[in-house]
């Protein structure tokens, strides 16, 4: 029973890491596209998201490969959840992007 609960906790922790990673990626794209220094946004976000994710996987796995696999499964499930919540790529365009596509 203890092993099952630790695997469920690892799955949930992986889901949380995935939400942080992919939600942070979505937020970075939203901020980076309209920024004057997009390279700083994207590179800083990548370093921060990867650091949080790798440290999270390290602590969640605790040296056990089965926990690592459970947290990785939660991470992948979170990717699909975030993608479904955000919607299709063209859905969140800002008004400036939509206006730029039309001729006067």
Does 97 map to a domain? no
Q: Encode pLDDT of 32-91 as tens digits.
A: 888 899 899 999 999 999 999 999 999 999 889 999 999 999 999 999 998 888 877 666
Q: Which residue has the tokens 């469920």?
A: 8
Does 98 map to a domain? no
pTM comes to: 0.78
Does 72 map to a domain? yes
Q: Is the dihedral of CA 68, 74, 77, 78 positive or negative?
A: negative
Position with higher pLDDT, 97 vs 12: 12
Q: By the 8 A CB rule, do 76 and 22 touch?
A: no
Looking at residue 36, the DSSP 8-state letter turns out to be S
Q: What is the total count of domains within the chain?
A: 1
Does 43 map to a domain? yes
31 Cβ contact partners less than 8 Å away, ≥ 6 residues apart? 41
């Amino acid at each position: 029973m203890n092993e099952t609960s630790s695997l469920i906790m690892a799955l949930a922790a992986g889901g949380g890491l995935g939400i942080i990673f992919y939600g942070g990626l979505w937020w970075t794209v939203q901020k980076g596209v309209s920024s004057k220094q997009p390279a700083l946004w994207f590179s800083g976000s990548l370093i921060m998201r990867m650091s949080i994710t790798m440290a999270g996987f390290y602590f969640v796995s605790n040296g056990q490969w089965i926990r690592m696999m459970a947290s990785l499964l939660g991470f992948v499930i979170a990717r699909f959840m975030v993608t479904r919540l955000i919607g299709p790529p063209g859905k969140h365009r800002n008004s400036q992007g939509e206006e730029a596509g039309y001729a006067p």
